[in-house]
Structure 1
């Protein structure tokens, strides 16, 4: 298990929890930007005979964007270098604006928190923000 992950992940239960909710694939690489209310959901179709991938745009518009990237797909995550386009990461200043412009790759896991209850959810939100 350790050879398959870029972090010090040693708890098999946490590994299965992460794998259960891990989604994406080629769409994460091919569609780096998804804008709510502007872009449309895309589907990828593979033709085995022609060995060709076709991107199909559906009629369904994106209305919510959730972007949590623990897969280290972006160099800024791996390097922790500040970038102007990373708006919602880092620490808040006195005006309520995020200032660091950095994203961090988690290095290891220290515990599990179940956020299905309201109390747990508020604790998780405090930790993340």
Structure 2
């Protein structure tokens, strides 16, 4: 893939590299604390619950529910002008962490609290795949 991606991209660095490598492989991986079992996002050098540095990156289900969202109607960043209106959502993953993300496969007016969603990866460059979420069809909200 050699597409020119005009939107802002996350900065990949040592602390989040495993997250983005997992995304390139179609897997949502998060940090898990080996001491207390806590799972979190975004990545950190130690567990935010017990401060242990015994951390393992593990795949998570990729399923969650829409917790909240805001619909953007005004262009703040020129690269997003063609997407207006679009929703920026907080998804609560089954494992507990929240992720700020885009919802794909649904119009902003179709979003509801507790809507079940699942991860869908958008590979935007050779090095970056962005986790976004889409509604789970056939499941009551």
TM-score of Structure 1 vs Structure 2, range by shorter chain: under 0.3
TM-score, length of structure 1 as denominator length:
0.20
TM-score, length of structure 2 as denominator length:
0.19
Higher-strand-fraction structure: 2
Q: Which structure ranks higher in relative contact order (CA pairs < 8 Å, sequence separation ≥ 6)?
A: 2
